[in-house]
Chains A and B, each alone.
Chain A
Amino acid sequence: KAGVTQTPRYLIKTRGQQVTLSCSPISGHRSVSWYQQTPGQGLQFLFEYFSETQRNKGNFPGRFSGRQFSNSRSEMNVSTLELGDSALYLCASSKNSGKADEQYFGPGTRLTVT
């Protein structure tokens, strides 16, 4: 079974631009969660989508948004990029949404904002 895939793997953007990252979950998984990983803050939860609905949201500004499509693929968008948005963005998928479900992580998208 193919794992979680994320595209692109690397991205360089300029301050003020916007960016869209994509995540394809494992086949049959309906939940997709997004995380931001930085050296200073570690792994921080951004949001979770399940059956095309946002189920949970972390403490990030409104510049960070996401969506999920009917095939469970998910995108996250960051508008008006800031230098501090430079990070590794990870997505994880699970069969369902809830405490008991194991999350499988993708390789991440490394975003650099200059």
Chain B
Amino acid sequence: DGGITQSPKYLFRKEGQNVTLSCEQNLNHDAMYWYRQDPGQGLRLIYYSQIVNDFQKGDIAEGYSVSREKKESFPLTVTSAQKNPTAFYLCASSVGTDPQPQHFGDGTRLSIL
């Protein structure tokens, strides 16, 4: 079955450490997205990519970085500059760049040690 796979499901970060969250899709979707979810704040967009080798900042990009070297993959790095990284991170994809339903992975929960 096609879908989006996020790994790991749980991740712990030490102070000053960068960590990378994986997102892989086999839906042949062009666009991919990263969201951060905090209780009571809904989903906030971190980065999005409409095509390979191109990506744009979302509303809360500071302290995060991404790459899009392959259509299927859109990893997110949470850098040490992100001072409050504890959250639930969701990756999504959509067919194209017109407003379309986004398909979501099951998320990664990141916590600080």
Q: Do A and B come from one complex?
A: no
